[in-house]
C-alpha cells in the first residue's frame, strides 16, 4: 500500500508478544523490524552521487545488532552463524548467538516465496530479536523519547533546483530549506549537483527534494505556493542561491 502511494522506502519496527503454545517457553517478547526499498531511512532513494543501493542482509544485521545493543546485550561477545528461519533467503541470512546455546535473534533478506506469500515486491529484509533471551544489563540512566505522533494527512514531495556559488556547501542549502518551516518540512535531501558553462562562471546547481508533512489540514495550492516561497527566500538569504530557471 505504501509503495502504491509512492513511498517505496519503508522502515517498520515493533516490540510485541508472540504465542506459539501454552508452555512458558512458547511465549516470548520479540523486537522485530523490516525495511523495503533502498538502504536509506529517509528520502526517496535519489542521491546526487547515484541511486542508493537496495536493502540487504548487512542492513538487517546492523538493525538487529542495534536493537540488541538497545536492549543491553553485550554486542562485543555476539557470534553470527549463517542461515536462519525458512522465510529468509538461505544464503543471505544469519542467526545471532551469545555462547553456543543462547539464540538472541535472526536476520536476513526475505525469501522470494515469502514475498509471494505476502504479495509484496522486494527487496525486503528484516530481523527478530528475542528480548527475554537478552541478559539483564547493568542499570544505567535512561532518557525518555518524545511521543511518536503520526499525521493522518498525505505527505508530499517537491523538487527545487538552486544556482549558487561553487563554494556553497550542499549541507548549508539543505539546512536553509529545513529552517524555512520546521513544522511542515520534515526532511530535505540532495539528488543532483551540476556544474556547467550555462550556469555562469564559478556557479553550480544543487537540486533538492523537500518532504512536506501536513499536520493540521490538507494543504491547498495556495499553501504550497506560500511554503515554496518561504523555502526559496530562506535559501536565498542563507546561501545567495536563486531558483534555477
> In this predicted structure, what is the pLDDT of residue 55?
84
Determine phi and psi for 191, rounding to 5 degrees.
Answer: -120, -5
- Residue 188 near residue 211, CB atoms below 8 Å: yes
> What is the chain's alpha carbon radius of gyration, rounded to the nearest angstrom?
22
31-35, 73-77, 147-151: which has the minimum mean pLDDT?
147-151
Residue 92 belongs to domain spanning: 3-133
Tens digits of residue pLDDT in 15-25: 998 888 888 77
Give the rounded percent of residues in the chain with a pLDDT score beyond 70.
87
Residue 140 lies in a domain: no
Peptide bond just before 30 cis, omega within 30 deg: no
Contacts of 9 (CB under 8 A, 6+ apart): 36, 37, 38, 40, 41, 42, 43, 44, 45
Is pLDDT of 142 > 60? Answer: yes
Are residues 121 and 218 part of one domain? no
Residue 114 lies in a domain: yes
Query: Does the residue 44 lie in any domain?
Result: yes
Based on the fold, state whether residues 127 and 7 are members of the same structural domain: yes
Question: Can you state the percent helix, strand and coil of the chain, rounding each to 5?
Answer: 25, 35, 40
Strand order in the sheet with 242-243: 185-194, 203-212, 156-165, 242-243
* Of residues 128 and 151, more confidently modeled: 128
Q: Tell me whether residue 173 is in a domain.
A: yes
Clarify whether residues 85 and 194 are in a common domain. Answer: no
In terms of domains, do 113 and 170 share one? no
Angle between helices 170-179 and 221-239 (to 10 degrees): 140
Q: Among residues 70, 100, 133, which one ends one of the domains?
A: 133
Q: Of 133, 166, 188, at which residue does a domain stop?
A: 133
Centre a 10 Å sphere on the Cβ of residue 245 and count the other Cβ atoms it contains.
5
List Cα–Cα distances, 69 to 32, 40, 66, 104, 224, in angstroms.
Answer: 14, 21, 5, 11, 42
User: Exposed, middle or buried: residue 122 (CB in 10 Å: 0-12, 13-18, 19+)?
Assistant: middle
The CATH number of residue 203's host domain is 3.30.70.380
Helices and strands in the chain: count of H runs, count of E runs:
4, 10
Mean pLDDT of the chain: 86
Q: What is the pLDDT of residue 44?
A: 53
3-class secondary structure, 232: helix
Residues 175 and 230 reside in one and the same domain: yes
d(CA 145, CA 191): 31
Overall domain count for the chain: 2
| 79 and 124 both lie in a single domain | yes
Structure confidence by residue, pLDDT tens digits, 49-81: 555 678 888 889 999 999 999 988 998 899 999
Amino acid at each position: 500500500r505504501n509503495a502504491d502511494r509512492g513511498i517505496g522506502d519503508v522502515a517498520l519496527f515493533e516490540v510485541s508478544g508472540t504465542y506459539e503454545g501454552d508452555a512458558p517457553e512458547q511465549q516470548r517478547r520479540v523486537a522485530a523490524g523490516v525495511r523495503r526499498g533502498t538502504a536509506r531511512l529517509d528520502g526517496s532513494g535519489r542521491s546526487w552521487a547515484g541511486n542508493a543501493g537496495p536493502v540487504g542482509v548487512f542492513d538487517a544485521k546492523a538493525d538487529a545488532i542495534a536493537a540488541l545493543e538497545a536492549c543491553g546485550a553485550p554486542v562485543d561477545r555476539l557470534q553470527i552463524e549463517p542461515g536462519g528461519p525458512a522465510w529468509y533467503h538461505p544464503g543471505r541470512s544469519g542467526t545471532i548467538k551469545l555462547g553456543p546455546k543462547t539464540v538472541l535473534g535472526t536476520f536476513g533478506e526475505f525469501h522470494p516465496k515469502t514475498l509471494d506469500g505476502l504479495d509484496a515486491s522486494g527487496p525486503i529484509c528484516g530481523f527478530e530479536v528475542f528480548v527475554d533471551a537478552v541478559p539483564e544489563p547493568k542499570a544505567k540512566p535512561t532518557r525518555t523519547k518524545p511521543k511518536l505522533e503520526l499525521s493522518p494527512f498525505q505527505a508530499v514531495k517537491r523538487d527545487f533546483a538552486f544556482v549558487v556559488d561553487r563554494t556553497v556547501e550542499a549541507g548549508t542549502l539543505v539546512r536553509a530549506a529545513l529552517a524555512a518551516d520546521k513544522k511542515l518540512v520534515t526532511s530535505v535531501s540532495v539528488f543532483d549537483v551540476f556544474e556547467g558553462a550555462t550556469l555562469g562562471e564559478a556557479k553550480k546547481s544543487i537540486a533538492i527534494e523537500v518532504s512536506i508533512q501536513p499536520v493540521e489540514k490538507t494543504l491547498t495550492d495556495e499553501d504550497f505556493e506560500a511554503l515554496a516561497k518561504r523555502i526559496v527566500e530562506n535559501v536565498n538569504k542563507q546561501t545567495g542561491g536563486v531558483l534555477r530557471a
